[in-house]
Amino acid sequence: MNHTGHCLCGAVELRTTGAPEAMGYCHCTTCRTWASGPVVAFTIWKAEAVTITAGEEHVHTFEKTERSKRKFCRRCGSQLMIAIPTLDRVNVFATTLPTLVFKPSLHVNYAETVLPMRDGLPKLKDFPAEVGGSGESLPE
Ligand SMILES: [Zn+2]
Ligand SMILES: [Zn+2]
């Protein structure tokens, strides 16, 4: 199943193919600062499953680290996705894909939370071990 998404001004459009590999919430300071919110909802895709279909020329990339290329629309400032080249994955913000039913399965970087969420889902201190994190869980 495909989903299409776009930025606030509509200049940038993207398409995802298939289903995301994971969905959840990130509580890290970097995401919170970038998104101006207390938490962000992410969806993780294989890089090949995400295509920018219009407005590529408006997409600007900010790299705080080599691990994450944060892509946003230069016209309206909407945050679209974060490419993670070391894992060949792309994190598309759930809000960018309005037709995707968001079903979170975990929280990451919960050690940095400013908005504790008692939803019964696993709360990882940082990242899962399979992507280079400690894999450690924290209590709600
Ligand atoms: Zn835009
Ligand atoms: Zn984050």
Total domains in the fold of the chain: 1
**CA-based diameter of the chain, in Å?**
44
Confidence of residue 17 (pLDDT cuts 50, 70, 90): very high
CATH number of domain containing 44? 2.170.150.70
In a domain? residue 137: no
Confidence of residue 64 (pLDDT cuts 50, 70, 90): confident
Ligand 2 centre from 30 Cα, in Å?
A: 6
Kindly report the backbone phi and psi dihedral angles of residue 90, in degrees, each rounded to the nearest multiple of 5, phi listed first. -130, 130
In a domain? residue 49: yes
- Where in the sequence is the domain holding 37, given as residue range(s)? 2-131
Mean pLDDT, all residues of the chain: 96
In a domain? residue 138: no
In this predicted structure, the answer to whether residue 109 has a pLDDT above a threshold of 90 is yes
Where is pLDDT greater, at 35 or 12? 12
In a domain? residue 33: yes
Length of the chain, in residues:
140
Ion ligand 1: residues, CB within 5 A, are 7, 9, 11, 73, 75-76
In a domain? residue 83: yes
54 token code pair: 């219009």
Q: Where are the beta strands (DSSP E) in 47-126?
A: 50-54, 59-65, 68-73, 79-84, 89-93, 106-108
Q: How many CB atoms lie within 10 A of CB 117?
A: 16
